[in-house]
Structure 1
Amino acid sequence: MDPDTQVEHDFSPFVRIYKSGRVERILGTHVLPPSHDPSTGVASKDVVIDPDTGVSARLYLPAGAHQPDTKLPVLIYYHGGAFCIESAASPTYHNYLNSLAGKANIIVVSVEYRRAPEHPLPAAYDDSWASLIWVGGASETWLSDYADWGRVFLAGDSAGANIAHHMAMKVGSGGSELGMKIKGVALIHSYFWGTKPIAGEIEDPEFRAGMERMWRFVCPSGATEGTDDVRANPLAEKAPGLESLGCERMMVAVAENDIFRHRGIAYYEALKSSGWGGEVSLVEHEGQGHIFHLLDPGSHQAMQFMDDLVAFFKQ
């Protein structure tokens, strides 16, 4: 039998790996080019951050940048997709961040980090940190001409929220080479997990075994501890304390029907009691599932959440 058609690992609906080594991504494969959107006035372009690794970003510049003497906040965004699918150029993220840039009047840097399994973790973390340093270096004209360096934010959904948390932790633990401060971080439906279920979390052994397999797939170096690897579980016994988060404000967003909901709430409660000196808020959406705001951006709750994000970035 042809090894190029024999499935060795099936992580549907994300990826399949064949015995030949071929990787088939099932979701998040479509891409859109950068553009100038006449409906929002937002321009976008792709830039290479590191030619050696291929790390890049899609930048969004709102029309408000061209007002005299205007400096705009900057959002560094990390897309979701279980560390192995989706991209900064996918229609899901391009359309959403294009709208967000226009409504919040904010410069967006959407990071195209390397993905598993070709590039397992910690590659995505390394690329995301390299991107933060690149943003702080202001070598790109949209940043050097228009950025307000006193209003820099991080955000991400699912795996991207996991990345945003780790970037904020690295900033707080002495990332002096960054060259800028992080004002706020928005964690949306964070991909956090653990080997043992917490209160309210799904307990089905087969499901939890699948979550363990998925983590070992994207992070082979964390195979020993599984999802109690501190990269998957920020509340694990060996995880560094949240009091060292390197930002002033935090938004934690959860959805009622999301499997990650209970982990997000536990993170919020732990941060509140950690001794961290910042301000944290919890945003909950009833009756909604994982990344509902991306899957159905025109729904009432999705539009309300967009308003919440806009307000967060304007404070």
Structure 2
Amino acid sequence: MSEPSQASDRYTTPEPSPQIPVVSKDITVNLSKSKMMRLYVPTAAPNGGVSPKKLPLVVYYHCGGFTAGSIKLDLDHNLCNIMAWKLKAMVASASYRLAPEHRLPAAYLDGVDAVEWIKYSDDEWIKSYADLSNVYLMGTGSGGNLAYNAGIRAANLAPLRIRGLFLNQPLFGSEERCESEVNADPPSILNSVDAHWKLCLPVGANRDHEYSNPTVGDGPDIMEVMGQRGWKVVVSGVEGDPLVDRHRNVAKLMKEKGVDVVEHFTDGDVPNLIDLFASIRNVIHSSAP
């Protein structure tokens, strides 16, 4: 699959294609904050428009370093389409406010709002197809960071139940460089990462803030709570990513704190999505109530 352009918007697909049998639509979550959500449902699951069995729900947060990105971009739209198809799940791609106009924790609060909105939603697709007892939060890059931080903030959502996280190349950091960052080629790639942190962290904070570095402060204790909740977490990365050692270190600490973690790391510079989705599908359907 060729990588789509991230610069162009993709409209919803009300009719499935033979290549990807998924339909999608946009809904407004909060007009005052201009938040939108794009829903994806695989047409192979519904029977005559009514699903014989409700589908696991994956709430997805897009990448962009907290300063860019959109649920409408080709990159994320195509990913969610394939994800809904391969996972046999409903996907809700949630927008969120961006920095520097809206610094963290604004995106985290929007991420939680999206899940809470789903809990109370009267949307026909959510009511018909989403199994709210089998919900996962997922994100790529900054979206992975958001999924982690929204997940630990979400509480008292019954009957909606979050069962785990899928963190795809999550954006984490610290003032001390990990080995893969030290060996980054070219080294200047870290300048872009650092710039994103300067724009999205609270004014005056550095990369050892808890929003950036989940291993400091209450981070390890929070991971213990995740383990106590019985969450399953998939952490994925690629060897060509300068942050790959950070991904491994976070996964290792989660395991030490009792979290059920599946690691999915591949060679090269881009993830093998088919293999990644196979790992995620195993987690989703093995955890089904």
Secondary structure of the residue that 2:79 maps to in structure 1? helix
Tell me if structure 2 keeps the 8 A contact 1:78–1:157: yes
Q: Is the 8 A contact 1:72 1:105 kept in 2?
A: yes
Find out whether 1:214 has 2:192 as its counterpart: no
* 1:190 aligned residue: 170
1:144 to partner: Cα distance: 0.9
Residue 225 (structure 2) aligned to one of 223, 244, 264: 244
Residue of structure 2 in register with 1:62 after alignment: 42
Q: Structure 1 residues 247, 202: closer, same or farther in 2, change over 3 A?
A: farther
User: Which moved further from structure 2: 122-131 or 238-247?
Assistant: 238-247
1:57·1:109 contact (CA, 8 Å) conserved in 2? yes
Q: TM-score, normalised by structure 2?
A: 0.86
Contact 1:46 1:57 survives alignment (8 Å)? yes
Whether 1:304 aligns to 2:280 is no
- In 1, the alpha carbon distance for the partners of 2:81 and 2:189 equals 35
* Residue 37 (structure 1) aligned to one of 16, 23, 36: 16
CA distance in 2, matches of 1:53, 1:200: 38
Question: Rg bigger for which structure?
Answer: 1
149 and 226 in structure 1: CA distance in 2 versus 1, 3 angstrom threshold: same
Q: Residue type matched to 1:218 in 2? A: C
Q: Which moved more, 1:80-89 or 1:28-37?
A: 28-37
CA distance in 2, matches of 1:90, 1:231: 25
1:132 match: 115
Structure 1 runs of 4+ off > 6 angstroms? 203-207
Residues 167-182 of structure 1 aligned to structure 2 (within 5 Å): 167-171=150-154, 175-177=155-157, 179-182=159-162
Summarize the Cα distance change of 1:38–1:229 in structure 2 as closer, same or farther, 3 Å threshold.
same
Identity of matched residues, %: 24
* Residue number in structure 2 paired with 1:19: none
Residues 92-129 of structure 1: per-residue CA shift (max 9 Å, x gap): 11112111111222110001112122322222111111
Residue 224 of structure 1 deviates from its aligned partner by: 3.0
CA distance in 1, matches of 2:30, 2:158: 16
Cα pair 2:61 2:138 within 8 Å, conserved: yes
Unaligned residue ranges in structure 2 (runs of 5+)? none
Aligned position for 1:76? 59
Q: 1:103 to 1:109 in 2, by over 3 A?
A: same
Q: Given the alignment of the two structures, is residue 283 of structure 1 paired with residue 273 of structure 2, yes or no?
A: no
Structure 2 residue matching 1:226: 3-state secondary structure: coil
TM-score, normalization: structure 1?
Answer: 0.79
2:130 corresponds to? 147
How far did residue 214 of structure 1 move? 2.7
Instruction: Flag the 1:178–1:86 CA change in 2: closer, same or farther, 3 A.
Output: farther
Q: Distance in 2 between matches of 1:183 and 1:214?
A: 30
Contact 1:29 1:90 in 2 (8 A): yes
What SS is found at the alignment partner of 1:37? coil
Which of the numbers 269, 284, 287 marks the counterpart of 1:313? Answer: 284
C-alpha contact (below 8 Å) 1:28/1:85 kept by paired residues: no
Question: Cα–Cα, structure 1 residues 147 and 202, in superposed 2: closer, same or farther, change >3 Å?
Answer: same
Structure 1 residues 181 and 161: alpha-carbon distance in aligned structure 2, compared to 1, 3 A threshold: same
Shift of 1:138: 3.3
How many residues align? The count is 272
Q: Partner letter of residue 305 of structure 1?
A: L
**RMSD of the alignment, in Å?**
2.2
C-alpha contact (below 8 Å) 2:238/2:244 kept by paired residues: yes
Task: Show the 5 A alignment for 1:227-242.
Answer: 227-237=207-217, 239=219, 241=221, 242=223
C-alpha contact (below 8 Å) 2:180/2:244 kept by paired residues? no
The range that moved more, 193-202 or 54-63, is: 193-202
Deviations 1:63-116 (A, max 9, x none): 134235321110100111111122111111111211111122211000111212
User: Helix, strand or coil for the counterpart of 1:44?
Assistant: strand
Give the direction of change, closer, same or farther, for the CA distance of 1:29–1:123 in structure 2 (3 Å limit): farther
